[in-house]
Structure 1
């Protein structure tokens, strides 16, 4: 049994806490809301984020960051990307020992273009972390909390740490694979939120399955182009944290990015969407970061650019679609030679 603190009492943090508690670990869930912590401790529910779900009675919650930092030999970070750096700064002042840092958040920081693992490495002193691991893949919190079959990926530059996290989470409902490609896993998990926004937007505009299939396929191509430019393994994007995560986020009513895009496609502004949803929509922030990063790296990402224009330049969604469809003609792929190791790198924009 391990002592684990989960930071972030939203739907995903709570769902992962259920998995860990089911596996017999000593789990403490940290969040900022006193009312939510009392509800978890007294009624074993988190009605705002997982309505109708009964939480394990062994799961405890707190709003005391010092207590949370002291509790775990393993710290699981599930806070929104925009809050990650502030939480880490506080944790770094409280930690007095090396811990295993795991994160399950998906996003890229605008302006710095850093992935979450890189933010952790910047903010947590080396002597206070054993390793950094990411847990990512096609996984809606609502289904995980119902103990429905789910598969995800554990990735780290430290193979033993990735396998340790694999062992922590594995059970008959929650299957974990390992993948050493930390860059690819984080890029795939982050950028699929952009494409999910676009998928929701096409539905909001009244387009059908043809448009969704085109968007997902070409979206995966540009995710792979940027990922490989940053050193990722192309095969990662055909796996759980690439294609798998893209499918689940672009096709499910559980996806907040899809829902946000759908409302924008129907004519609502970003502020109206965020006010109505009352939750963080990572894809909006990640669109800005990916657009900036693609410019820096010289990678063409037309879908990302189109969404950036809709979200930040007030371009009407239907005009962005018309521009994408009216671009100069392209080959889908260049001629491939047998045994080529980077076929995805030859997908034209």
Structure 2
């Protein structure tokens, strides 16, 4: 066990004390974690990024979060980004609450300011393409450019921010290198509605929940196709289920290729399930299914953060690199490659249904 965490672990176990948790990034998911943190009687600080000024200003006045559309728990202290170092002082845990578009900002402006003795728990989902057929999860990306003794952990699983804030039963997985740190993080945040598994398979958990954004876009193509044919509000579940099944098959193969344990599909599939029912990824999937090309869809959703488009491009680039090296078979990823064709080549939606069929003899 790293020496930096011995004192942290011993003190927490000995005292089981109320802790100071600082959430950096005032987005919806990071802020939603203030609910289980508050229910465990911790002191909570929320620090906005440079893009969170309106959120922080309103929260300071009324405790209301303007994008989560919920009042946050009482007693939270709010800080602007230029007050971040003050907010970090005395913290027992830092939660990274930035979106995937804030990863480099978090790496450059935040991680270097966090003492090695304070664990970091990131909510950000996504991966970095290395250009050689391999990809890094965000914790691995952070690790590559930070002190090797820094405790970098992450959250994966099916969790929508507004339902966590409403205390609907939720099951996630905390992943990181040190199982003892993970056990303490679980004790700090677990409640009767926020249920936490822990795993040292960072790559498996994080790749599973990152990949789901690609496939949530893919599944919701069927919603757009149905609406184009029969009008808004008409939904066909057979086609969605078929795309969901193919998505899970391809995700399992990708998790294994990336070096993760396939059993982590439980977190990716659950996350896929919640993502197809709403949010930004559903919006672009529906537009594409209705016949918009990618440029038209992006223009319609101008100003909306679309992580699904980014991760789809990165994953497809890695897969095509491996196909070119004859390390994997193109026929194993028809849905991913069709999504890539839609995004990269502006192709219109034409689901390759026949390519999903398999024949297996015992």
- The SS at the match of 2:171 is strand
How far residue 267 of structure 1 moved from its aligned partner, in angstroms, is 3.4
Distance 2:106 2:204 in 1: 25
Deviations 1:202-247 (A, max 9, x none): 101117211111111111111111111222222221x2x1222222
How far residue 305 of structure 1 moved from its aligned partner, in angstroms, is 0.8
Match of 1:242 in 2: 268
- The SS at the match of 1:29 is strand
Task: Indicate how the Cα distance of structure 1 residues 58 and 13 shifts in structure 2: closer, same or farther if over 3 A, else same.
Answer: same
Task: Indicate how the Cα distance of structure 1 residues 82 and 334 shifts in structure 2: closer, same or farther if over 3 A, else same.
Answer: farther
Q: RMSD of aligned C-alpha atoms? A: 2.1
Task: Indicate how the Cα distance of structure 1 residues 158 and 221 shifts in structure 2: closer, same or farther if over 3 A, else same.
Answer: same
- The SS at the match of 1:184 is helix
Task: Indicate how the Cα distance of structure 1 residues 236 and 328 shifts in structure 2: closer, same or farther if over 3 A, else same.
Answer: closer
* Farther off after superposition, 190-199 or 111-120: 111-120
The match for 1:40 among 51, 59, 81 is 59
How far residue 268 of structure 1 moved from its aligned partner, in angstroms, is 3.8
- The SS at the match of 1:248 is helix
Task: Indicate how the Cα distance of structure 1 residues 305 and 96 shifts in structure 2: closer, same or farther if over 3 A, else same.
Answer: same
Would you say 1:135 and 2:155 are equivalent positions?
yes
Match of 2:254 in 1: 226
Match of 1:279 in 2: 304
Would you say 1:156 and 2:176 are equivalent positions?
yes
Task: Indicate how the Cα distance of structure 1 residues 161 and 271 shifts in structure 2: closer, same or farther if over 3 A, else same.
Answer: farther
- The SS at the match of 2:107 is helix
Q: 8 Å contact 1:137–1:152 — kept in the other structure? A: yes
The normalised TM-score by structure 2 is: 0.82
Task: Indicate how the Cα distance of structure 1 residues 269 and 45 shifts in structure 2: closer, same or farther if over 3 A, else same.
Answer: farther
The match for 1:106 among 96, 107, 125 is 125
Match of 1:262 in 2: 286
Would you say 1:209 and 2:215 are equivalent positions?
no
Task: Indicate how the Cα distance of structure 1 residues 96 and 11 shifts in structure 2: closer, same or farther if over 3 A, else same.
Answer: closer
Aligned residues between the structures = 322
Superposition map of 1:61-140 within 5 A: 61-63=78-80, 64=82, 65-111=84-130, 113-127=135-149, 129=150, 131-140=151-160
Superposition map of 1:1-12 within 5 A: 1-12=18-29
Distance 1:264 1:10 in 2: 27
- List runs of 5+ in structure 1 lacking aligned partners: 336-349
How far residue 80 of structure 1 moved from its aligned partner, in angstroms, is 1.6
- List runs of 5+ in structure 2 lacking aligned partners: 1-17, 227-234
Would you say 1:289 and 2:317 are equivalent positions?
no
The normalised TM-score by structure 1 is: 0.85
Distance 2:72 2:295 in 1: 33
Q: 8 Å contact 2:313–2:340 — kept in the other structure? A: yes
Superposition map of 1:147-186 within 5 A: 147-186=167-206
Distance 1:124 1:276 in 2: 35
